[in-house]
Amino acid sequence: MKPASALPAALKDALIAAAVSAAIFIPLVALRTDVGPTGALTLRTRWPEAALLVGLVFLGRLALVLWTGRRGLRASTAPGPWTQRLQQAGRLAAPAFLALALVLPAIPGVDRYWLDLGILVLTYVMLGWGLNIVVGLAGLLDLGYVAFYAVGAYSYALLAQEFGLSFWVCLPLAGLFAAFWGVLLGFPVLRLRGDYLAIVTLAFGEIIRVVLINWVSLTGGPNGISGIPRPSFFGLPFSMAGGEGTFAGFFGLEPSPSHRVIFLYYLILGLALLTNWVTIRLRRQPLGRAWEALREDEIACRALGINVTTTKLSAFALGAMFGGFAGAFFATRQAFVSPESFTFIESAIILAIVVLGGLGSQIGVAVAALVLIGGTEVFRDLQEWRMLVFGGAMVLIMVLRPRGLVGTRTPSIALGKKRAIGGDLVGEGRG
């Protein structure tokens, strides 16, 4: 485009953008109701702020269009040079991330705050990887994943409190319970597809939460369950007393509250790596390939003799099981569970991690969890602007990389060299 004709076109474009933003900002920013001194609502106008925002949009759009041309920013799902570089880097980055994660507690200057943040991020990495089996591989849109997280957490809380079972007994049980509920939900709903499946799973997530609130005699209702036993190091409790039978006493260490945090950190790291390992292994095997085939074309699967129902159920159950493990970990870390921790927003965040990372991509999900969860913590100083930055970043990623950070698929097997498959060819799954 010639510069002479570029300016009027860009001005027109920027004016349209400003008009759209005015339509949004006038009701949202310029007009505001406050409660007056008498208790009545008073209307306060903030025209300068609204004008400032509209002006920013106008200038920003103008600059963007002049800089890049009208179609400058193009969405891409193809494995462009950028992706290829990322993948080459990914081969190094994944071990590097892993090494960093392994030595994090030993790095000087890493205090309790960083370890707690690490635990939080790893919990979401694990949840993301668990949901990735259901959404990314099998292509079943699950909006109620937090239900399985809740089942795992409450299973551990109740089993540990009522029967005094140790964490290591409860962990597999919590996973099994969650998987059981996954199958229970899966049976009636897996004949549904796409949007319908999403709505039913959403409802399931809410049902579990409402049951947890209202079944007061079992779950303690809105008060939750407190005083959940903390994990022990294979029978050695972490205690500040430092006696014979404690972790510190047994190993002859100075009792320190950070022992437990470090233990919890390695525990969730181990659980997350277990999820990753199982997923990577299964992807190279008939079951994982059948999940991906299901996402690509369900009818063709049936014609090839794949039992669609049991294959979907296995994905659902396995994803739920890892959600249950993560739930049990959550309960033992917090020593307290209540229905408030298992609201829809949790499901939405986990799903956002999977979608932003790239459906089916393990490294993409891990990076997305780090950015989304770690990022919100790091930008805590920005206060109320945090969510704006966060939302803007999400929109930007989705505009530029509609299939997530890693939008390509790596084949599970190859005669020669494995080449990444562009996201535009890979199915998104319709349930």
Tokens for 364, please give them.
Answer: 């993409």
The window from 42-50, 212-220, 296-304, 319-327 that contacts another protein (CB under 8 A) reads 296-304
Does 43 sit near another protein (CB under 8 A)? no
How far is Cα 96 from Cα 118, in angstroms, rounded to an integer?
16
Closest to another protein by CB, 43 or 414:
414
Q: Which of 123, 132, 314, 338 binds another protein (CB under 8 A)?
A: 314
302 binds another protein (CB under 8 A): yes
Question: Which of 140, 197, 198, 290 is close enough to bind another protein by CB under 8 A?
Answer: 290
Tell me which amino acid residue 110 is.
Answer: V
Among the listed residues 318, 280, 288, 283, the one whose alpha carbon sits nearest the alpha carbon of residue 306: 288
Task: Give least dist CB 408 to another protein, A.
Answer: 10
10 Å CB burial of residue 273 (0-12, 13-18, 19+) is middle
Q: Are 344 and 205 in contact (CB under 8 A)?
A: yes
**Options 297, 387, 399, 400; binder of another protein; rule CB under 8 A:** 297
SS (H, E, C) 202-228: HHHHHHHHHHHHHCHHHHCHHHCEECC
Indicate which single residue of 209, 259, 312, 409 sits in contact with another protein (rule: CB under 8 A).
409
286-314 as b/e: b if 16+ CB within 10 A? eebbbbbbbbeebeebeeeebebeebbbb
Contacts to another protein from residues 260-279, by CB under 8 A: 278
* Least Cβ distance, residue 276 to another protein (angstroms): 13
Which is closer to another protein, CB of 311 or CB of 338?
A: 311
* Residue 297: CB minimum distance to another protein, A: 5
State CA 407 to chain mean position distance: 16
Site size toward another protein (CB under 8 A) is 38
Instruction: State in angstroms the smallest separation of the CB of 129 from another protein.
Output: 15
Site membership for another protein, residue 112 (CB under 8 A): no
Is the Cβ of residue 333 or residue 403 nearer to another protein in the bound state? 403
CA–CA distance, 212 with 210 (Å, rounded to integer): 5
Q: For another protein, which stretch binds (CB under 8 A), given 63-71, 147-155, 164-172, 294-302?
A: 294-302
User: Do the beta carbons of residue 166 and residue 405 sit within 8 Å?
Assistant: no
Element (H, E) at 44: strand 41-45
Q: Is 41 in the site for another protein (CB under 8 A)?
A: no
222 to 261: interface string for another protein, x by CB under 8 A: ----------------------------------------
Q: Which residue's entry shows tokens 């809105």? A: 222
Contact 174, 326 (CB under 8 A): no
d(CA 349, CA 328): 19
Give me the least distance between CB of 120 and another protein, in Å please. Answer: 28
Nearer to another protein, 22 or 421 (CB): 421
Of 101, 410, 142, residue with least CA distance to 272: 101
CB of 193 to another protein, least distance (A): 16
Q: Does 106 bind another protein (CB under 8 A)?
A: no
Which residue ranges make up the site for another protein (CB under 8 A)? 278, 281-282, 285-287, 289-290, 292-293, 296-297, 299-308, 314, 409, 411-419, 421-422, 425-427
